[in-house]
Amino acid sequence: MDDAILKEGTICMAPKRWRWSMLVVGVWVFWAVHPAAGAENPPPQQQKPGSGFRINILRAEGRVVSGEQNQTQELQPRHGFRVAQPELLPLPGFYMLRMENVQKELNLTLEQLAQLTELSKAYSEQVRADQEIWKNWQQMTPEERSAKAAEQRQRHAQRVQQVREQVEKILQPQQLQTLQQIILRTHGFWVLYHPQAQENLGLTPEQKQQLAEIRQKMFDEIQEVQRKAFEKAYAVLQKEQQEKLLEEVQKRTH
């Protein structure tokens, strides 16, 4: 592979449509790996011409697998949010309550956390019990399966509603309001760009265009922040550590 091409000026060649996917993947990777990441911090990446990271040098030295041998990274997020208390299990509609920074921002008390934990355990047990209805699914007729699925959906909707009511009792109104804001600014970001959601909201072509422009501008800014953070952090490592990091990354991507 031409090292001169690798070192300089290649970064912008990545197809634009990929860049957004990379941002999404970056966010998930960061969320999945880092245990104390904020709820609102998605890191993308973009290398600027001239930044010349060591990966290029290492590739030139034959330490990095070539493009032909390399496998693309799995585009599936790993299930591993930075959970403050592992005992606090996911609650439908309130997954974010498990996140350390969200808990901090809401100023959750220990008592509230204990109550939420209890609620999550109870919900989890109910869900497990609900799954029992599929025990003999192989013996079921298609009609029976459809009926069971409908029953399951209905039960799930009820559970969600019950959880909501319970959480609203546990949290203070101010905390609920703050949580809504957090959810809006974190999830709204993604939901707003989903074609189905756009349709449901009845966005006009002008609005879609405006959103696309905002997204692109912000994407560039986020990439720049991420790039600088990466460079600074990478510079903290010694050469051997950088190589070990590369090895670890490669292990995960192959």
Partner 1 sequence: MKQLQDDIRKEVEKILMPAQIATLQDLQFRQMATGYFWAPQMADKIGLTEQQKSQLDQLRQEYQQKQAQLMRELAEKQLNVLTPEQKQKLKEEIQKWMTRY
Residues 49-68 touching partner 1, rule: CB under 8 A, are 53, 55-56, 59, 64, 67-68
Which of 114, 193 has the CB closer to partner 1?
193
Q: Choose, by CB under 8 A, the member of 16, 18, 144, 147 that binds partner 1.
A: 18
Name the residue type at position 64: V
Q: How many residues bind partner 1 (CB under 8 A)?
A: 89
How is residue 237 annotated by DSSP?
Answer: S
Which of 35, 168 has the CB closer to partner 1?
35
Measured CA to CA in angstroms, residue 143 lies from 132, 140, 155, 250 at distances of 18, 8, 18, 48
Which of 110, 128 has the CB closer to partner 1?
128
Q: Choose, by CB under 8 A, the member of 61, 74, 144, 151 that binds partner 1.
A: 74
Measured CA to CA in angstroms, residue 60 lies from 54, 55, 252 at distances of 10, 8, 21
Which of 53, 115 has the CB closer to partner 1?
53
Two tokens, residue 78: 């790993």
Which of 111, 165 has the CB closer to partner 1?
165
For residues 232 and 240, is the Cβ–Cβ distance under 8 A? no
What is the nearest approach in angstroms of partner 1 to the Cβ of residue 62? 14
Does 6 contact partner 1 by CB under 8 A? yes
Residues 99-158 touching partner 1, rule: CB under 8 A, are none
Nearest to 104 by CA among 118, 24, 112: 112
What three-state secondary structure class fits 101?
A: helix
What is the nearest approach in angstroms of partner 1 to the Cβ of residue 170? 17
Q: Choose, by CB under 8 A, the member of 132, 160, 169, 173 that binds partner 1.
A: 160
Alpha helices in 202-254 (DSSP H): 205-236, 239-253
Q: Choose, by CB under 8 A, the member of 136, 154, 180, 216 that binds partner 1.
A: 180
Which of 35, 109 has the CB closer to partner 1?
35
Task: Give the gyration radius of the chain's Cα atoms.
Answer: 23
What is the nearest approach in angstroms of partner 1 to the Cβ of residue 139? 26
For residues 28 and 78, is the Cβ–Cβ distance under 8 A? yes
The CA distance from 68 to 31, in Å, is: 29
What is the nearest approach in angstroms of partner 1 to the Cβ of residue 112? 20
Does 83 contact partner 1 by CB under 8 A? no
What is the 3-state secondary structure of 11-56?
HHHCCHHHHHHHHHHHHHHHHHHCCCCCCCCCCCCCCCCCCCCHHH
Residues 32-51 touching partner 1, rule: CB under 8 A, are 32-38, 40-47
Site string for partner 1, 182-201 (x = CB under 8 A): -xxxxxxx-xx----x--xx
Residues 220-239 touching partner 1, rule: CB under 8 A, are 221-222, 225-227, 229-230, 232-234, 236-237
The CA distance from 117 to 5, in Å, is: 54
